[in-house]
Structure 1
Amino acid sequence: MILQIETATTSCSVALAQNGQVLAFKEINARNMHAQVITVYIDELIAQTGGTYASLDAIAVSCGPGSYTGLRIGVSTAKGLCYALDKPLIAVETLAAMAGGAAAENGIDSNTLLCPMIDARRMEVYTAVFTATGEMIKPTAAEIIDTNSFSDILAARQVLFFGDGADKCIDTLGHNPNARFLRNFVNSATHLTGLALEKFNRGEFEDVAYFEPYYLKDFIAGKKAGEN
């Protein structure tokens, strides 16, 4: 049984999966709730499924890119459990999990490309491009979106944009007939299931002592009210 944690965006989501099937999950999509609910959700899922912490085989965490604070909370929780329980840690790239979740939930045509987007600042997003089968064809990057973004790909293929970063790009990219938008997509720990199982079966685990989230960009703290 794998405990799966997703905190890379405003969504705080936890799931339990066994043999590639989700047994139960709990999640909330709200800002600044991660630290308050994550351990409560984990306790509730363990109790709900009749398991124990000792019965877990591994802990998987969405490792970024995404919110600095959200990633820090999710990875710290996962590492703490791995230390306490002596369980392996599995890191799942957030954008890859999003692409897999969108493909599984929406019956994506094999010719359509998937472009998950995580909101950064202003018109910047964290993004990558995947085929419907999960192959990454444009690597993860921080992109400032303008009317020419993805023009080479959109000239030849339909592209499905989704995630909280895509919502702010509709006016900029929506003029292209090959640009499609999946609205109201929310990151979920359930999206980690397939990738986490593949890594578990390959024994692809992280060094718990040294593992850090994939922030992609350095953290820039905002000024508090009244500061010059």
Structure 2
Amino acid sequence: WPWKFISPVQGGLLVHRPSMEAFEEYMEIVREGNYTPGFTNEAGWAGLGYGGFLGGKAYQGIIPYFYDHFHPNTAVELDVCKWNQVAADVIWRGPRGQHHVGQCRKHPRGGDYENNIPRAVGEKSSTNNGCDDCRITPIDEIYTVHYTACKKPWGCPVARAGNKDKNKRNRIDTSLVHMPTCMKLHREWFQLRKEFEELVHSVKEPEKEIPQ
């Protein structure tokens, strides 16, 4: 549904300095189990809206609850088009006729729905509080990739050919991604693997002396 006020944290990447104190806090939250089922802004952890989405009871819900509620202003949100890049569509494309079509999926800052629109390629975020189209982010600007929407490169995925094979493995939903971007990301993975394998094979195992 459009613009749930609380957004989940994507479970593919979290940069966190190990802390037993933080770990114990998480454990206490889980043990308390103060979670309200439902999909409203009054559901989720402590009834504050941190839930009602995939992973709400687990990683995707408890992480934003931990930082927003207990440790505000201590976490930094990274650019999802460059870190943990999924390369999936972040813009509402339907249902047709709805006022939110064409706007960003994230909740607009300050309730500014009018300007919650995709930024043009190269446009600075300061000029538009909307979102970037991660499907067309230049490869050389990406730091890490999460192979979900584009599927795993080692599975040799191909574009989905209609609904008849939508449940088959290794079929890419072209309505969700930009196929040329997925192919480039796959190529990068194979290139990195090739370089790694060559490095491994170039390291010679030290010669061992045979006992007399």
TM-score interval, smaller chain: under 0.3
| Relative contact order, higher structure (CA 8 A, sep 6+) | 1
TM-score normalised according to structure 1 size: 0.24
Please tell me whether Structure 1 or Structure 2 has the larger radius of gyration of its CA atoms. Answer: 2
Q: Which has the higher strand share?
A: 1
